[in-house]
Structure 1
Amino acid sequence: MQMIQNPILKGFNPDPSICRVGEDYYIATSTFEWYPGVQIFHSKDLVNWSLIKRPLDRASQLDMRGNPDSCGIWAPCLSHADGQFWLVYTDVKRLDGSFKDAHNYIVTAPSIEGPWSEPIYANSSGFDPSLFHDDDGRKWFINMKWNHRSDAKWAHKANPAFDGILCQEFDPKVGKLVGEIANIFAGSDLGLTEAPHLFKRDEYYYLTTAEGGTGYQHAVTLARSKSINGPYELHPNKHVMTAVQNPESPIQRVGHGQIVDTPTGETYHTFLCGRPLELNSAAKKRNCPLGRETGIAKCEWRDDGWLYLANGKMVPDIEEIAPFYVKGTAKNKTISYAFANELPIDFQWLRTPEPDRIFTMTGNALRLIGRESIGSWFEQSLVARRQEHLRFHATTTIEFEPKDYQENAGLLAYYNRHKFHFLTLTHDPEIGRCLSILSCSGDWPECRLSYPLDQDIALDGQKEVELGLIIEADLLQFYWRTSDDWQAIGPKLDAAVLSDEGGRGEHASFTGNFVGLAAFDLSGRAATADFKSFTYDPQCAAITTGEN
């Protein structure tokens, strides 16, 4: 029997929207401030998934320069109708405070590879939009409504900022929303109702939503109505999925997903989840450095016309039964990237639609162009890939000749501008070219750097330097070498802080940790650093020291 291993999309891949076209399955996930926007994965069997496209790849579709951390692309919705793909997405411009400034758009494409159209603006009343294609040909745009009036007496008691689910018709001929706006669902008493997806079965419209926030109280709530505008009755259990009552489960923070049917009529439901480092450690606050990942659960329709998990529980299993037998693929492979003419698809950068200003491919190296600081929200030379495993090694080879301490380049583990560890090659006025470490451990709001090295390490003329790191659950150790043996550099650092729960804690940020390469030049002279290779190694064999 072939089994699905959850999570199916490891590392930071939240808010999964799934659709099927024939025998092909596609999942779109949020990318937040990382560019290009939206990750789209493909599978033939719900077991093996591959990243095939990031469709929002030009300034006219997406420009996130100035977007705060954890803003940008929230909760895309991918669908297929009328012979084309439809992608709905939000670009959120503000996180903290009473306002969100969330703008919703629609793009289309004849195939998943594109070309993807110029965006159609929809609305800005709230985030997590989706598009429902009814069987009579009409299309309905659904999103949560954001309420900035926290003092409102009419607001939801559990969380006044979330003011129900809106529904309005979208007319593709005129390219805009038309008709009356209906608030179709107020949510359950759990509140924080978002991520609406509509589907139809027999005589009912079913509305699946996420509730309880994206942390440990998260849940999938289901409701139904015979009219698209309601009223909607709640599922007998209120929630279809949640891990709230199962703190021992390795899968936590379960919520936010969408239903898909197989060609043979079986039903599955995607979900967002997190895998905590230590289930019972108060010190670590159950941190999830891999961020919010994507899983999928087998479901069943019962005689009462409601959907339930097939395992008879509320929390999904680590292993789910696949719809049919398929040949599995090798997992946890070491990946070695030789930077040639194109940036490998696993890598992204931050915010800017003008990547040629922050990096180029030389043919045998990834050349980063030093721009603004590691904490910038505008033009940051940082290229990285997701951390997908709780234990892994990463290495790179760098060639860089800094002339001043304002010039830095190196290897880093990066969650956001106030949660990162950066092994950097720089220049010290007294010792010359050297290695240093810059860390920021979530000390909001100051975001002050710390310098874990007691003394920077001078480099005596070596042109190329290899940099490495090992993350073992909640600890990070940097390494370096210019010859055969790796040498540890600096103390073991806190890797648990590189998580949603690190720093200010749950709901203050909600992306995931990346590992990659960065450069900055605070002088404005745009010093360049060449990275010849990069290795991501979940088998933990890449770094061997002379002590081993």
Structure 2
Amino acid sequence: MPLVRNPILPGFHPDPSIVRVGENYYLATSTFQWFPGVQIHISTDLANWELVCRPLSRRSQLDMRGHPDGGGIWAPCLSHDGERFWLVYTDVTRKEGSFKDTHNYIVSAPEITGPWSDPIHVNSSGFDPSLFHDDDGRKFFINMLWDHRRRPQLFAGIVLQEFDASTGRLVGTRKNIFQGTKLQYTEGPHLYRRNGWYYLLTAEGGTQYNHACTLARARDICDPYEVHPQEYILTSKDTPLAALQRAGHGDLVTTPTGEHYLVHLTSRPVTARRRCILGRETAIQAAYWGDDDWLYVKDGPVPSLYVDLPRARDEAAYWATQHYVFKAGHELHQDFQWLRTPEPDRIFSIDPDDGGLTLIGRESIGSWSEQALVARRQMHFSFNAETVLSFSPIDERQFAGLTAYYARFNFFYLTVTAHSDGQRELLIMSSQASFPYGDLDLEHLSEPVRIPNEGKVRLALTISGNQLQFFYAMEGEKETKKIGPVFDASILSDECGGPGSFTGAFVGMACSDLNGTHIQARFDYFTYQPVHDESNVSN
């Protein structure tokens, strides 16, 4: 089998859950505050993946307006009971402090593309839920338990309760089946049955550099679970120089020919500060069952950068330039997402006659409510991005342009705006928070550049590792010109967003109207071009 380089889903693709149905593998990942909710990819070979759907796509399923950065959809679990697909997930509305508001839901569908049902609220006792389908047809709902009194360790173990699919309710007694190991922060449970054993796979150590996959087993589903003789079947916590760091939060799958694999969360830090610009990604490891009926990761527990898979990855597709044109009569390309709102018609549209993407100015780029920001994932350490904008602001409270965006306090934003006298100008807004927070409410403004009031504006940026440079050109100009300094792109990372920052960097288009008049900005196209350079060797 060919060697495939990890990760298999680069960029912001955290908390993987995998299931095989027939010859197809389906892999679900978290989306947090980005809408639509949950990404599901499909593959036939575990190496090449295609986005097949985002199932939480309408207001009756999900509305995240008002959710904080890092809230929203956590750790989906995708399963199949022989007849239907089941998806369980947490919607987090508050995540800081001792209290967490974590609401767990279930949706289901006859096919992976839907139609997906409206959600059933199951409980709100913790997060990272999963649904286990036992051999006798019974279903069990599993999640970690959050106890705000257990300071400072607020993780109170893994709880299990039977789920009655006919009524959509939990039944029987909730039981705490696993307290975890000394590594603590026990979460992300998945349950399996094999050779008369129940196996419980959990994530431990927190989703930073002490992360790990822990395996335990019991003869009865509610018996005390004994821990794997290695304790942690996968972890990078003791190998700071390993290429794949923060390894944990895994799920198991078996191929039709009997090979076993573990998909897991990982990150690839860059710079001396070990910042994870591409966020938490999805990798895969070969695994096997030993004679002692325990699962082992091949060459583990440290994750391997290269893994034997049934087929090689299509490198040409991975490095291809993506040129998005917003054609009349077509929907927004599936690579793009937006923040929080289930009412996209309030923030963007594609002209039904002439094409082009129109963004409708709403709140600021840092809003937790409603903002017109449409973006795609950064999936390479180095890339170029470009767009052309038509926009006629009347004052400094209206702005639109090109943004490299992680969260409300981690972004760079090249805008077309206007002075208070109505003269158009280019202005770079940046928010450069540093852990634990830095200047949270301070947005830095570069010196504005005055431009003509008429004509389209071409905006571009390059990110090369940890360096970001903006460019611009007026309509009719062939060459772009640099604008602003070279920025530190590494702040678009988990490490610079404060506690609970674990999403990833995006690049895209935005429009704001702080006057409340909903001014519109039109974008002709958007281009994302990966760049081969030394910064991308980790890709």
**Which TM class, normalised by the smaller chain length?**
over 0.9
What does the per-residue CA deviation read over 1:91-134, in whole Å, with 9 as the maximum and x for residues that have no partner?
00101111111000100001011000111110000000000000
Contact 1:4 1:46 (8 Å CA) reproduced:
no
Percent of aligned pairs with the same amino acid = 54
Mapped pair 1:352 → 2:345:
no
Contact 1:45 1:324 (8 Å CA) reproduced:
yes
What does the per-residue CA deviation read over 1:272-309, in whole Å, with 9 as the maximum and x for residues that have no partner?
0001113xx1xx2x000110000110001111111111
What is the CA–CA distance in structure 2 between the aligned matches of 1:3 and 1:178, rounded to whole Å? 46
Mapped pair 1:215 → 2:208:
yes
What is the CA–CA distance in structure 2 between the aligned matches of 1:94 and 1:175, rounded to whole Å? 25
Contact 2:47 2:311 (8 Å CA) reproduced:
no
Contact 1:45 1:326 (8 Å CA) reproduced:
no
Contact 2:383 2:462 (8 Å CA) reproduced:
yes
SS in 2 for 1:105: strand
Which of 485, 491, 515 is 2:485 aligned to?
Answer: 491
Equivalent in the alignment of 2:378 = 387
Equivalent in the alignment of 2:177 = 184
Equivalent in the alignment of 1:17 = 17
Equivalent in the alignment of 1:155 = none
Equivalent in the alignment of 2:427 = 436
Equivalent in the alignment of 1:293 = 281
What aligned pairs does 1:51-70 form with structure 2 within 5 A after superposition? Answer: 51-70=51-70
Equivalent in the alignment of 2:154 = 161
How far did 1:213 drift?
0.3
Equivalent in the alignment of 2:242 = 249
Equivalent in the alignment of 1:545 = none
SS in 1 for 2:55: coil
What aligned pairs does 1:36-47 form with structure 2 within 5 A after superposition? Answer: 36-47=36-47
What is the CA–CA distance in structure 1 between the aligned matches of 2:263 and 2:380, rounded to whole Å? 20
Equivalent in the alignment of 1:156 = none
What is the CA–CA distance in structure 1 between the aligned matches of 2:85 and 2:464, rounded to whole Å? 41
Mapped pair 1:458 → 2:447:
no
Contact 1:48 1:329 (8 Å CA) reproduced:
no
Select between 327-336 and 64-73 the one with higher mean Cα deviation: 327-336
What is the CA–CA distance in structure 1 between the aligned matches of 2:283 and 2:318, rounded to whole Å? 16
Equivalent in the alignment of 2:307 = 320
Which of 467, 472, 490 is 2:464 aligned to?
Answer: 472
Q: RMSD over aligned Cα, in angstroms?
A: 1.5
Query: Relative to 1, partners in 2 of residues 1:212 and 1:325: Cα closer, same or farther, differing over 3 Å?
Result: closer
How far did 1:465 drift?
0.8
What is the CA–CA distance in structure 2 between the aligned matches of 1:427 and 1:90, rounded to whole Å? 42
What is the CA–CA distance in structure 2 between the aligned matches of 1:186 and 1:306, rounded to whole Å? 20
Mapped pair 1:28 → 2:15:
no
How far did 1:420 drift?
0.5
How far did 1:436 drift?
0.2
What does the per-residue CA deviation read over 1:418-448, in whole Å, with 9 as the maximum and x for residues that have no partner?
1101000000125711100011112637533
Query: Relative to 1, partners in 2 of residues 1:511 and 1:325: Cα closer, same or farther, differing over 3 Å?
Result: closer
What aligned pairs does 1:18-417 form with structure 2 within 5 A after superposition? Answer: 18-151=18-151, 160-278=153-271, 281=272, 284=273, 286-311=274-299, 313-323=300-310, 330-340=317-327, 341-363=330-352, 364-417=355-408
**Deviant stretches of 4+, over 3 Å:** 323-330, 443-446, 449-452
Select between 477-486 and 213-222 the one with higher mean Cα deviation: 477-486
How far did 1:258 drift?
0.3
Query: Relative to 1, partners in 2 of residues 1:358 and 1:108: Cα closer, same or farther, differing over 3 Å?
Result: same
Query: Relative to 1, partners in 2 of residues 1:336 and 1:480: Cα closer, same or farther, differing over 3 Å?
Result: same
Query: Relative to 1, partners in 2 of residues 1:48 and 1:419: Cα closer, same or farther, differing over 3 Å?
Result: same
Contact 1:225 1:233 (8 Å CA) reproduced:
yes
SS in 1 for 2:123: coil
SS in 1 for 2:426: strand
Which 5+ residue runs of structure 2 have no aligned equivalent?
A: 534-539
How far did 1:462 drift?
4.3
Give TM-score scaled by structure 2 length.
Answer: 0.95
What is the CA–CA distance in structure 2 between the aligned matches of 1:330 and 1:490, rounded to whole Å? 33
Contact 1:415 1:499 (8 Å CA) reproduced:
yes
What is the CA–CA distance in structure 1 between the aligned matches of 2:441 and 2:417, rounded to whole Å? 19
Contact 2:388 2:526 (8 Å CA) reproduced:
yes
Aligned pair count?
525
| 1:194 maps to amino acid | E
SS in 1 for 2:46: coil
Query: Relative to 1, partners in 2 of residues 1:451 and 1:37: Cα closer, same or farther, differing over 3 Å?
Result: same
| 1:490 maps to amino acid | G
SS in 2 for 1:122: strand
What is the CA–CA distance in structure 2 between the aligned matches of 1:446 and 1:272, rounded to whole Å? 30
